[in-house]
């Protein structure tokens, strides 16, 4: 925990941005009956019954020192989904960063093995310990 607090206290440096990452599953629901529109004297009326339309995963990255955030939605949460999210983050949003200080929880998908399962070895080996990303393993950030 102290490692995370130390990272949060670092001054802003665009070459070494501090990025927090997490994900969450959300149930998708739909209406069984159409809502009754608002009318004078009452607001919109929604029925309590709903139909389940599956689940979506939200991958969220936040760079708190600049107030920037990015959300990606996927159909599932697998090692490959996490690896793709990290690759797009590094390649598209932080291409000029020397190293991204990535703070996240210790979910089983948040590890270098996920990169090797998703990408060719040479590409997976380029990060995290190498060029772009630091992943504080076994650190609960939130």
Rounded Cα gap, residues 21 and 92, in angstroms: 16
Question: How is residue 50 written in tokens?
Answer: 């709903």
Rounded Cα gap, residues 123 and 116, in angstroms: 8
pLDDT at res. 7: 83
**What predicted TM-score, i.e. pTM, was given to this entire model?**
0.76
Break the chain into its structural domains and give their ranges.
Answer: 2-30+51-134
pLDDT at res. 24: 92
pLDDT at res. 142: 40
What is the fold, at CATH topology level, of the domain defined by 2-30+51-134?
Answer: Nucleotidyltransferase; domain 5 (3.30.420)
- Is 5 buried (19+), middle (13-18) or exposed (0-12) by CB count in 10 A? exposed
pLDDT at res. 38: 95
pLDDT at res. 132: 46
pLDDT at res. 1: 65
Which residues, in sequence order, are CB contacts of 125 under 8 Å at separation 6+? none
Pick out the chain residues at pLDDT < 50: 129-132, 137-142
Secondary structure string (H, E, C) spanning 94-137: CCCCCCEEEECCCCCCCCHHHHHHHCCHHHHHCCCCCCCEECCC
């Amino acid at each position: 925990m102290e490692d995370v607090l130390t990272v949060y206290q670092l001054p802003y440096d665009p070459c070494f941005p501090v990025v927090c990452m997490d994900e969450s599953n959300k149930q998708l629901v739909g209406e069984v009956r159409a809502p009754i529109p608002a009318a004078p004297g009452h607001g919109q009326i929604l029925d309590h019954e709903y139909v389940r339309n599956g689940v979506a995963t939200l991958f969220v990255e936040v760079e708190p020192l600049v107030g920037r955030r990015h959300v990606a939605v996927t159909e599932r949460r697998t090692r490959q989904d996490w690896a793709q999210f990290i690759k797009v983050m590094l390649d598209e949003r932080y291409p000029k960063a020397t190293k991204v200080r990535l703070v996240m929880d210790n979910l089983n998908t948040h590890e270098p093995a996920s990169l090797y399962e998703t990408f060719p070895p040479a590409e997976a080996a380029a990060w995290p310990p190498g060029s772009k990303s630091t992943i504080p393993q076994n650190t609960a950030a939130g």
